[in-house]
């Protein structure tokens, strides 16, 4: 069984774990060294601002209270399982496809960890240009977005099976 799994895209799961651990580690660093809502300039267009996000992107589901935690966690689990099934069906040599899915899974695992442990997602990166600010995000969000962008740009339609 192990040999079979190692010949599939699941052999790339290590990358998902690296993304998840980097995400959790960066959030632990921010929680230990910053006060909630404290903002620290990092570059002329990036601040680290420690925030708790109980909602989805752009405060989606904010009115649902504690229920949104479980809804978003359930959606995350579905996304993770879906991508892992696809990776299992892929050959390990489908490098770009496996990287795309691994970084999405790693990001989803990082944010799911936050929801399960803290009941909210820890965000801390704010990108801005002049007076225009992007909503606060984290390393997991970067993984999910980069995976989605790479997938849209580089993966052909119908690439998901052997």
* Other CB atoms within 10 A of residue 45 CB: 12
Backbone angles phi, psi at 130, to 5 degrees: 60, -120
Show which residues are catalytic: 123, 141
| Antiparallel, parallel or unpaired: β 121-129 and 39-43 | unpaired
What is residue 40's three-state secondary structure?
Answer: strand
| Of the candidates 132, 118, 8, the residue with the CA atom closest to the CA atom of residue 53 | 118
What is residue 101's three-state secondary structure?
Answer: helix
Sign of CA dihedral 152, 81, 89, 99: positive
């Amino acid at each position: 069984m192990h040999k079979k799994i190692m010949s599939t895209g699941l052999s790339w799961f290590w990358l998902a774990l690296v993304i998840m651990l980097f995400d959790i580690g960066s959030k632990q660093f921010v929680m230990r060294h910053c006060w909630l809502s404290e903002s620290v300039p990092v570059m002329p267009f990036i601040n680290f601002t420690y925030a708790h996000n109980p909602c989805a992107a752009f405060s989606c589901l904010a009115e649902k209270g504690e229920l949104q935690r479980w809804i978003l966690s359930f959606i995350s689990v579905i996304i993770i399982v879906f991508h892992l099934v696809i990776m299992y069906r892929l050959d390990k040599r489908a490098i770009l496809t496996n990287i795309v899915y691994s970084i999405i899974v790693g990001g989803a695992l990082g944010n799911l960890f936050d929801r399960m442990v803290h009941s909210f997602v820890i965000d801390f990166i704010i990108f801005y240009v002049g007076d225009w600010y992007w909503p606060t995000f984290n390393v997991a969000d970067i993984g999910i977005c980069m995976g989605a962008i790479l997938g849209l740009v580089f993966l052909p339609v119908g690439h998901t099976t052997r």
